[in-house]
Amino acid sequence: MLNLKVEIDSHSGFCFGVVYAIDMAEEILDEQGYLYCLGDIVHNDEEVKRLEQKGLEIINYEKFKNLKNEKVLIRAHGEPPSTYQIAVENNLTLIDASCPVVLKLQNRIRKSFEKDEKIYIYGKHGHAEVMGLLGQTNNQAVVFQNLEELDMKALPEKITLYSQTTKSVEKFLSIGREIKNTGIEVESNDTICRQVANRDSELRIFAAKYDKVIFVAGMKSSNGKVLYEVCKSQNPNAYFVSEAGQLETRWFQAGNRIGVCGATSTPMWLMEEVRDKLLTY
């Protein structure tokens, strides 16, 4: 026995937006035994499997367009206006679990678009939330993942800058400064979720306290990739796993103090499974 000492980060786990969406889904699943969800309800395969076993069916946009007279859950990431239009046409009842932080951002972007502002969104191409944000501008806003994608010489004299809600505040502010330094006028709108943003500093403190860190997240989670790198920067002995079966005993030595943490899309039950597995070594 390695007699590992294992602690779970109390701040890790679902953000309130994901909790809200899953609570709504489970309530309806308990009532009618099945429910359609447009896209993965959360970017964590293990949690999706758990809910699918209760009757949740993940559908893509193609199936959504052909579905009629059913209930469909809108996940925390939010949706573009076109989704709501299809729902009206197909007599679909939308169970809207869009995160309030995302809805506020959508509203601000829509108002900027109505004022003919040149909108630039710092975010991940193809991400569900970003697609919803783009929809507020009839897909006319410019999305970029890093400054290298932008041709500074071709940018308008003035832009309105927004960010996907789960991005790093520091990176967003840095991008705004760099664009301003080229002489472009930037109206910067920091709408990043503070529950997510605060995880950065909290994780730095947490990761530094342990011999080894196990970061638990789904492979599809953008937030997970970012936060894992935060852990790794503070503790080189940080390992990324999506479930307990990916743990390897060779990572640990007798008496190690192990910290277990995760993304805002990581369920607590999954981190507990990882902890329990480590305690058997």
Shared domain check, 159 and 113: yes
The 8-class DSSP code of residue 76 comes to T
Shared domain check, 81 and 154: no
Shared domain check, 150 and 184: yes
Residue that is last in its domain, among 40, 65, 98: 98
The range of the structural domain enclosing residue 206 comes to 5-13+196-278
CATH assignment at residue 207: 3.40.1010.20
- pLDDT (mean) for 36-51: 95
- pLDDT (mean) for 166-190: 93
Which of the four pLDDT bands, split at 50, 70 and 90, describes residue 221? Answer: confident
- pLDDT computed for residue 222 by the predictor: 80
Residue that is last in its domain, among 50, 80, 98: 98
The region of weakest confidence among 17-21, 34-38, 131-135, 192-196 is: 192-196
Of 270, 260, 268, which Cα lies nearest the Cα of 215? 260
- pLDDT (mean) for 209-233: 93
CATH assignment at residue 22: 3.40.50.11270
pTM recorded for the entire structure: 0.89
State pLDDT tens for residues 79-133: 999 999 999 999 999 999 999 999 999 999 999 999 999 999 999 999 999 999 9
Nearest 5°: phi and psi at 6? -120, 130
CA distance 102 to 75: 11
Shared domain check, 256 and 205: yes
- pLDDT computed for residue 170 by the predictor: 86
Which of the four pLDDT bands, split at 50, 70 and 90, describes residue 226? Answer: confident
Query: Hey, which bits of the chain come out as E strands?
Result: 5-8, 35-38, 56-59, 71-74, 93-96, 119-122, 142-144, 158-163, 185-188, 212-216, 238-241, 257-262
- pLDDT over 90 at 207, yes or no: yes
Residue that is last in its domain, among 174, 192, 210: 192
Shared domain check, 156 and 125: yes
- pLDDT (mean) for 148-177: 93
52: CB partners within 8 A, 6+ apart:
58
AA letter at 186: V
- pLDDT over 90 at 243, yes or no: yes
Shared domain check, 185 and 106: yes
Shared domain check, 112 and 80: no
Q: At what angle do helices 128-135 and 100-114 cross, to 10 degrees?
A: 30
- pLDDT computed for residue 276 by the predictor: 97
The 8-class DSSP code of residue 121 comes to E
CA diameter of the chain: 65
- pLDDT computed for residue 166 by the predictor: 87
- pLDDT computed for residue 233 by the predictor: 95
Q: In this structure, how many other beta carbons lie within 10 angstroms of the beta carbon of residue 238?
A: 21
3-state secondary structure of 256: coil
Shared domain check, 207 and 255: yes
Shared domain check, 125 and 86: no
State pLDDT tens for residues 57-72: 999 999 999 999 999 9
Q: What does pLDDT average to over the chain? A: 95
- pLDDT (mean) for 164-172: 89
| 39 backbone φψ class: left, alpha, beta (φ>0; ψ -120 to 50) | left
- Number of domain units in the chain: 3
Shared domain check, 74 and 128: no
Give me the percent of the chain exceeding a pLDDT of 70. Answer: 100
Active-site amino acid positions: 129
* CA–CA distances in Å: residue 213 to residues 27, 186, 229, 234, 246: 35, 39, 12, 10, 14
- pLDDT over 90 at 46, yes or no: yes
Beta carbons of 123 and 171 less than 8 angstroms apart:
no
- pLDDT computed for residue 21 by the predictor: 94
